[in-house]
A and B are shown apart, each in its own frame.
Chain A
Amino acid sequence: MAKVTFKQPDGTETTVEAAAGVTVMEAAKINLMSGIEAECGGACACATCHVYIDANWVEKTGKPNEMEEDMLDFAFDVRETSRLSCQIKISDELDGLVVEVPEKQF
């Protein structure tokens, strides 16, 4: 199990427990986290599970691959730290991960 913290645009933070192997998107959906839509269900085929990775974690989560980078074109206000949360698998290494939910998924 690993802890993941979701920061909402209004500043509220929620920490959830997630099993290794599930994606950050799935951890958000299981815990009914607002701001993560995941319209396509995790196929890397929309961009509605967009998150910003906390600066301290960027190195550990790594960079998006080409397919994810392409799909990020469909997100709004994309930053250097942008990722699609369905493409990040939880592992012990990521215990304590902090991600920021964008103002809007679209």
Chain B
Amino acid sequence: MFALTPLESEAILLSLRVAFWATLISLPIAIAVAWLLARVCFPGHTLLNGLVHLPLVVPPVVIGYLLLLLLGRNGPMGAWLYDWFGITVAFTWRGAAVASAVMAFPLMVRAIRLSLENVDVRLEAAARTLGAPPIWVFATVSMPLMLPGILTGAMLAFARSFGEFGATITFVSNIPGETRTLPIALYSMTQVPGGEGGALRLMILSIVIAMLALFVSELLARRLRARLTE
């Protein structure tokens, strides 16, 4: 029987928590950014697009270090967060969530933007002529039609966050019970003599969880699409 050791379940639960919050917090921001990129013409459009995609193209360790500089206790944003809200991000699980969210952000925005570009603007115009203000149109026409894309984006982001390693270990280090997520635990095991067995188990676990997530999201997306076209 494949019983989990306390260490393994701790890492899995932490990874799930980090991925959940990373996805939840970045979702509304990603929808807003996708909207800006797909629908609004403004100066700095290309710059924003580049910034969003930055985590895809630079080494994760660069993002981790950048976050440390910005959000560390002495960083401009970190100091502000601590002084005003008493929140510490660096070297906590919250920091791990932030790092994961930033790394997964481009994937999420891309999926949502793609679905938004497929929403027929003529339907939105029709809703306006029926008296609906733009926000209402977005909530009742655009959003429901984007739902499959939003789901895909969220699932991708969740999976990416679950496995985030480089930026996380740079930003929040490797603290057991606080920031030692599943991939970091796996890495740690490969660094100590005799850790191969544990590493193998974690590897299998990680693959199983990722496959499960993909399976569930595919099922949901299919059901959503069927609702739109049946």
A in complex with B: no
A-side residues, CB < 8 A to B, are: none
